[in-house]
Chain A
Amino acid sequence: DAGVIQSPRHEVTEMGQEVTLRCKPISGHNSLFWYRQTMMRGLELLIYFNNNVPIDDSGMPEDRFSAKMPNASFSTLKIQPSEPRDSAVYFCASSSLDRGNQPQHFGDGTRLSIL
């Protein structure tokens, strides 16, 4: 059973460039979450989707960040333009609301470095 799949695993780019992170949730899960993790701020929820619809994006730091979920098996998190302070590990997680209180399953993350 494949888990949550994220790509790329690592991304190093110069500030000002557009960055796109990708996520494939576990098949059958209808909720998807994007998190950012840094040493200073810990794990922060950026945005989450239920049935492909964005429910709460209050965690998105600013307009440079955007997320989409065009179908049940794919989501992207885009940063344009990127800044050095965006450097962090970005996690995608999925869960199934239909089965009641189910834990979130995390992908391995994308380690993003903005130079």
Chain B
Amino acid sequence: EDKVVQSPLSLVVHEGDTVTLNCSYEVTNFRSLLWYKQEKKAPTFLFMLTSSGIEKKSGRLSSILDKKELFSILNITATQTGDSAVYLCAVPGETSYDKVIFGPGTSLSVIP
């Protein structure tokens, strides 16, 4: 059965800290891995990763994929209170790219 596991499930840090969020997966016929950020409303797309070892970067956020070890990390440097959110990792399931399987999410709280 395809599954996505994230750790930690929750995290509290101070502004300025660097955090690393983890996502591991087990899927048949891997195609891509997606990271989303969810604040109060809908998840918003951050990154899509398809190749190992290539870092995707957007401002203070970066992510990398290891297809051999079946995991990805999302790094946030110099955290700000606006980074407080749930970060979701998702992977397309076995039957179709469309059937995306979401992990439980990591709830990040950044305190001043």
Name A's B-contacting residues (CB within 8 A).
31, 33, 42-43, 45, 48, 50, 55-56, 91, 95, 97, 101, 103-109
Contact = CB atoms under 8 A, between A and B. Distances in A.
B97 to A, nearest CB: 7
B64 interface: no
A45 B99 contact: yes
| Main secondary structure on A side of the interface with B | strand
Contacts of A95: 98
B79 to A, nearest CB: 23
B105 A42 contact: yes
Contact of A45 (B44, B48, B97, B100): B100
A43 B88 CA distance: 9
Contact of B42 (A31, A56, A101, A109): A109
A107 B38 CA distance: 12
A109 B102 CA distance: 17
Contact of A48 (B42, B45, B48, B99): B99
B102 A42 contact: yes
B34 A103 contact: yes
Contact of A101 (B44, B48, B95): B48
Contact of B104 (A31, A42, A101): A42
A31 B43 CA distance: 17
B75 interface: no
B105 A106 contact: no
Contacts of B84: none
B42 A106 contact: yes
